[in-house]
Amino acid sequence: MEIAVTDEQAVAEIRSTVYQMAERYGASDVVGVMAMLFDEDAMAVGTGADEVAIGSADVRAMIARDISEVDSVSFRIDNLRVSVFGDAAFTYADVVFVASVDGELLKFPARTTFGLARASGNWRIAQFHTSFPYTDQAPGRSFPVQLTQTLADLLTSIETEDGPATLTGAKLGTATILFTDVVDSTVISQQMGDQHWSNLITAQFETVREIVEGEGGTVVKTLGDGGMYVFPSGTAALAAAVRIQRAIRAPTDDLLSVRVGIHTGDAVQGDGDYIGLTVNKAARVAAAAIGEQILVSSTTIDIVNSSDFEFGDPITVELKGIEGKHILQPLNWRKTKTT
């Protein structure tokens, strides 16, 4: 194949595009980053098995999640190389990431590639891939998984309003906890307007409530655009999660992208609420998911009849605030044969 001669002006434009992408990412400007992508089929790929996003909605969710996991991030781009093939181009760069997480400064190298296409005279990013070395600081994901704001608010509400001091008749029991959280809700609500958004979320909560109760579960709490639900068995929780994703993704004018996380363990119960490490881990499992994904802890998978459900490859993550590494698996809800 004949390779086009590199055009100096194109190289300069592409280098500018890459640096502008880094600046917007470092400024936590999700909207600005998305504006630099090429049409609806952009692709983002990271190091971990859970860091693959195809299509603008999933890419936006992945970028927003990564940005939310750090207090601040900056980049030093070294050795940026560009190859131009007419209206397509590819770049390679060595990058040093400097991120602040809860006041701790993390610094580690990465390799980044971009695939670009020229449309209407401007270069847009069609694909980008960032890979981190597997070290103690980066064990397969860019940063340890932190809670989204909605999930953090749910946990705070439970702990402050119905915490140990106010739980009466509290008892310890095994439960399967499921959390839901709408991805990119701030941007969507601003686009829709308050009334439209409120109606949509109210309808979503009602749909989820019917599904949860239909599978023998209970609504523990809803707040903002997220919810916490408890089930007497892992199988019931997984079946509900599948039905929730299918219901939300059913044809409609207002498609929402929801992340779901599920974990099983002992939890303190009293006055209708559940608290404890199991609840906290379930929320963090949900935070590790991207839009339209159901992530399930290995503990839950071990206690269910796995032949009833189809799972993707396991991933190992760090969950902020919980020691150790944790194995999660995505539930392939589109392929799972359950009603």
Q: What domains sit in the chain, N to C, each tagged with a CATH number? A: 8-131 (3.10.450.50), 149-330 (3.30.70.1230)
Instruction: Give the lowest-confidence range in 77-81, 186-190, 223-227.
Output: 186-190
Q: Is the pLDDT of residue 175 over 70?
A: yes
| Residue 170's pLDDT band (cuts 50, 70, 90) | low
- Residues facing 108 on adjacent strands: 97
pLDDT score at 336: 81
pLDDT score at 26: 81
Q: Is the pLDDT of residue 42 over 80?
A: yes
pLDDT score at 116: 93
Q: Rounded to whole angstroms, what are the CA distances from 108 to 40, 79, 98, 105, 143?
A: 31, 16, 7, 10, 11
DSSP character at residue 155:
H
- Pick from 11, 34, 10, 14: nearest CA to 24: 34
Q: Is the pLDDT of residue 139 over 50?
A: no
pLDDT score at 254: 59
pTM over 0.85? The answer is: no
Percent of the residues in the chain that have a pLDDT greater than 90, as a whole number: 30
Q: Is the pLDDT of residue 82 over 80?
A: yes
Residue with the bigger pLDDT between 107 and 288: it is 288
Instruction: Write the CB contacts of 292 (distance below 8 Å, at least 6 apart in sequence).
Output: 57, 58, 245, 249, 257, 258, 259
| Residue 285's pLDDT band (cuts 50, 70, 90) | very high
C-alpha to C-alpha distance for 251 and 233, rounded to whole angstroms: 30
Instruction: Output b/e per residue, 163-175; b: 16+ Cβ within 10 A.
Output: eeeebeeeeeeeb
Q: How many CB atoms lie within 10 A of CB 24?
A: 18
The DSSP code sequence of 220-289 is: EEEETTEEEEEESSHHHHHHHHHHHHHHHTSS-SS---EEEEEEEEEEEEETTEEESHHHHHHHHHHHH-
| Residue 282's pLDDT band (cuts 50, 70, 90) | very high
Helices and strands (H and E) in the chain: how many: 9, 14
pLDDT score at 338: 60
Instruction: Give the lowest-confidence range in 151-160, 244-253, 310-319.
Output: 244-253
Instruction: Give the lowest-confidence range in 35-39, 99-103, 122-126, 225-229.
Output: 99-103
C-alpha to C-alpha distance for 86 and 198, rounded to whole angstroms: 48
Calculate the average pLDDT of the chain. 82
C-alpha to C-alpha distance for 124 and 120, rounded to whole angstroms: 10
| Residue 160's pLDDT band (cuts 50, 70, 90) | low
Q: Is the pLDDT of residue 272 over 50?
A: yes
C-alpha to C-alpha distance for 182 and 85, rounded to whole angstroms: 40
In terms of average pLDDT, the best of 1-15, 38-52, 164-178, 258-272 is: 258-272
- Is residue 339 within 8 Å of 165, Cβ to Cβ? no
Give the burial class of 207: count Cβ atoms within 10 A of its Cβ; 0-12 exposed, 13-18 middle, 19 or more buried. middle
Cα dihedral sign, 129-134-138-144: positive
| Residue 136's pLDDT band (cuts 50, 70, 90) | very low
Paired tokens of 127 = 């694909």
The CA angle 234-227-246, to the nearest 5 degrees, is: 65
Residue with the bigger pLDDT between 34 and 229: it is 229
Instruction: Give the lowest-confidence range in 154-158, 180-184, 189-193.
Output: 189-193
Task: Report the interhelical angle of 194-214 vs 234-248 (nearest 10°).
Answer: 140
| Residue 102's pLDDT band (cuts 50, 70, 90) | low
- Across 273-295, average pLDDT: 89
